């Protein structure tokens, strides 16, 4: 029978903790439920994560951030057609496989729950938001340099607005429990970004 390696155990704990936090929020997340799901012991948990807070911070850094980096940040950074890559990323949000409408955005859920309560959570979450804004800003700057979008577009402010609007779309869909609301809002955001194009 295959035994869990330390890396396997850590990965299992992070995956289960992410799902538990996503469903219940950090404060209501149950370590017992996480251990039951993984079949691991308290000793294994505390070997990797001295306390629940450290586990939650690792979920932000190693699950949420890295998932965003794989699906969004890295493809956008590496695209030779940054504006189209940004439009494609926005459009793909409507796919059910990327967002569970009933639960909303795991990043924004934690921002709303934990940023007002804990400075470390706020800092770790702010790192993700700052990276997100920076990646979009860089894509817009490169699009501007390529002549794809207008020169009067303030790339920094626009990147922040795109992030805020993106999260707002998902939040509205969660509130109304509606994939149709998500699709409608995302379409409007897509239209807005498309309107930045240089028509000359």
* Among 144, 170, 159, 143, residue whose Cα is nearest residue 192: 159
> With 70 as the cut, is the pLDDT of residue 96 above it?
no
> With 80 as the cut, is the pLDDT of residue 92 above it?
yes
Q: Where in the chain is the domain with CATH 1.10.357.10?
A: 56-194
- Provide the phi-psi class of 25: left if phi over 0, else alpha when psi is between -120 and 50, else beta: left
Vertex 35, ends 30 and 36: CA angle to 5°?
95
Average pLDDT over the chain, rounded to whole?
92
pLDDT digits (tens, 9 = 90+) for 22-50: 999 999 999 999 999 999 999 999 999 99
Q: Where in the chain is the domain with CATH 1.10.10.60?
A: 1-50
Fold of 1-50: Arc Repressor Mutant, subunit A (1.10.10)
Position 200 scores a pLDDT of: 55
Asked if 79 and 139 count as a contact pair (C-beta separation under 8 A), the reply is: yes
- According to DSSP, the residues that pair with 104 across neighbouring strands are 100
The distance in angstroms from the start CA to the end CA of the chain is 66
Q: What is the DSSP string of 173-186?
A: HHHHT-HHHHHHHH
> What is the CATH code for 56-194?
1.10.357.10
């Amino acid at each position: 029978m295959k035994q869990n390696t330390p890396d396997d155990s850590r990965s299992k704990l992070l995956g289960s903790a992410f799902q538990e936090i996503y469903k219940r929020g950090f404060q209501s997340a149950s370590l017992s439920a996480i251990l039951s799901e993984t079949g691991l012991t308290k000793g294994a948990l505390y070997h990797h994560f001295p306390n629940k807070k450290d586990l939650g911070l690792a979920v932000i850094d190693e699950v949420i951030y890295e998932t965003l980096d794989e699906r969004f940040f890295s493809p956008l950074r590496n695209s030779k057609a940054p504006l189209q890559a940004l439009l494609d990323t926005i459009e793909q949000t409507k796919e059910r496989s990327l967002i569970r409408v009933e639960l909303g955005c795991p990043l924004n859920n934690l921002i709303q729950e934990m940023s007002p309560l804990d400075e470390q959570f706020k800092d770790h979450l702010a790192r993700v938001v700052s990276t997100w804004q920076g990646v979009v800003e860089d894509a817009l700057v490169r699009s501007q340099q390529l002549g794809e979008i207008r020169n009067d577009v303030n790339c920094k402010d626009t990147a922040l607005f795109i992030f805020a609007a993106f999260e707002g779309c998902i939040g509205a869909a969660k509130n109304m429990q509606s994939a149709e609301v998500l699709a409608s809002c995302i379409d409007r955001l897509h239209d807005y970004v498309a309107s930045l194009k240089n028509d000359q």
